[in-house]
């Protein structure tokens, strides 16, 4: 069982809950203001606001910590970016009290650090399209030491009971290396954590393959061919973001793939897109590697430069899925 009173765990769970609340406020508030994509996207505002909240909190609570985030305030500090910065600032003020645009930029840029031997990485809003249409998305924060994820927290505001992909009141998932993957209700910090366990399925025919609603994130045709190789009969599970890892960890599916697309044959995954989700799955008994079966190496900077794509499974099916990938995909 995780010691929930450890300072870094208290920080990570607290700040992710706060980040989820501001993401929800942005979503609701911008809809009420009638702002549309022709003005600027709610997800743009949420990305910056969440990173500002996390950067501010980390600077105060863990002043020596290094944060590697997805966003930079550079574009906000232009004439074109000023309306976005002003909107971000207003939402941040509602969360923390007083804040100036200059402070907000500084808090966002707290995440501009380069990876070191020990650092945190943040995806402020993972699952852009899911967020925009009111579907699944996640705030993902992870602690990495010597190229290996040691702590991961996923805040998933719309997940259903036991991390099911149907819309629900939200979930908080926390995983620590060697101490399991744990779930409680996002809206209630006092709710008791329960341990997650990946599916025990050993029959490839029964494998539920997770599909991104956003088609551009993988190679749909090759996933179909892999499913054929495995003789899959089960229906797929469709959802966005690293919330998929929570569903895998809870036994709601068996396979998640990030294949190379023809448009980006040399694509390397960003560390913040995989770090928190990877340890959530591993600590629930699942397995994650690249498409060639190599472990994920988070020591190569902001991208997984030594890895090609992602193969994540419940564990027992991993070898069969890798065999099918090898038979179908031409990997560099």
Domains parsed from the chain with CATH numbers = 7-195 (3.30.540.10), 204-328 (3.40.190.80)
CA 237 to chain centre: 17
Task: Taking the CA atoms of 259, 263, 268 and 273 in sequence, report the sign of the dihedral they define.
Answer: negative
In the prediction, which pLDDT does 319 show?
Answer: 98
pLDDT at 35: 44
pLDDT of 7 reads 95
In a structure prediction context, what are the per-residue pLDDT tens digits for the chain, which is 332 residues long?
899 999 999 999 999 999 999 999 999 987 655 444 334 677 899 999 999 999 999 999 999 999 999 999 999 999 999 999 999 999 999 999 999 999 999 999 999 999 999 999 999 999 988 998 899 999 999 999 999 999 999 999 999 999 998 899 999 999 999 999 999 999 988 889 999 999 999 999 999 999 987 655 566 789 999 999 999 999 999 998 999 999 999 999 999 999 998 888 899 999 999 999 999 999 999 999 999 999 999 999 999 999 999 999 999 999 999 999 999 999 98
Q: How far is Cα 275 from Cα 169, in angstroms, rounded to an integer?
A: 24
Question: What proportions of the chain, in percent to the nearest 5, are helix, strand and coil?
Answer: 40, 20, 40
Among all residues, which ones are annotated catalytic?
A: 47, 128
Q: Which residue has the tokens 């910590």?
A: 65
pLDDT given at position 219: 65
Specify the pLDDT at position 217: 54
pTM: 0.95
Sign (positive/negative) of CA torsion 102, 8, 114, 257?
negative
Tokens, residue 263:
């448009």
Q: How far apart are CA 159 and CA 151, in angstroms?
A: 21
CA 51, 57, 62, 64 dihedral sign is positive
């Amino acid at each position: 069982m995780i010691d929930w009173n450890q300072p870094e765990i208290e920080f990570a769970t607290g700040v992710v809950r706060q980040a989820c609340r501001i993401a929800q406020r942005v979503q609701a508030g911008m809809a009420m203001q009638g702002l549309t994509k022709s003005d600027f996207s709610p997800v743009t505002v949420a990305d910056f606001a969440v990173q500002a909240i996390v950067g501010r909190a980390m600077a105060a609570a863990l002043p020596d910590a290094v944060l590697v985030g997805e966003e930079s305030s550079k574009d906000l500090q232009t004439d074109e970016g000023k309306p976005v910065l002003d909107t971000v600032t207003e939402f941040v003020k509602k969360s923390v009290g007083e804040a100036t645009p200059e402070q907000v930029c500084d808090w966002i840029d707290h995440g501009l650090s380069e990876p070191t031997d020990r650092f945190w990485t943040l995806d402020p809003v993972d699952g852009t399209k899911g967020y925009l249409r009111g579907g699944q998305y996640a705030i993902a924060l992870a602690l990495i030491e010597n190229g290996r994820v040691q702590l991961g927290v996923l805040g998933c505001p719309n997940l259903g009971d036991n991390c099911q992909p149907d819309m629900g009141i939200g979930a908080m998932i926390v995983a620590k290396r060697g101490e399991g993957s744990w779930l409680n209700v996002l809206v209630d910090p006092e709710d008791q954590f329960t341990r997650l366990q990946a599916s025990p399925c050993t029959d490839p025919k029964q494998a539920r393959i997770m599909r991104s609603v956003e088609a551009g994130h993988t190679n749909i045709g090759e996933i179909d061919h892999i499913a054929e190789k495995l003789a899959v009969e089960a229906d797929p599970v469709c959802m966005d973001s690293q919330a998929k890892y929570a569903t895998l960890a809870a036994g709601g599916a068996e396979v998640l793939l990030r294949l190379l697309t023809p448009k980006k044959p040399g694509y390397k995954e960003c560390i913040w897109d995989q770090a928190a989700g990877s340890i959530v799955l591993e600590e629930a008994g699942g397995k994650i590697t690249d498409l060639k079966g190599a472990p994920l190496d988070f020591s190569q900077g902001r991208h997984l430069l030594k890895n090609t794509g992602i193969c994540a499974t419940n564990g027992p099916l991993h070898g069969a899925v890798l065999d099918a990938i090898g038979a179908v995909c031409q990997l560099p």
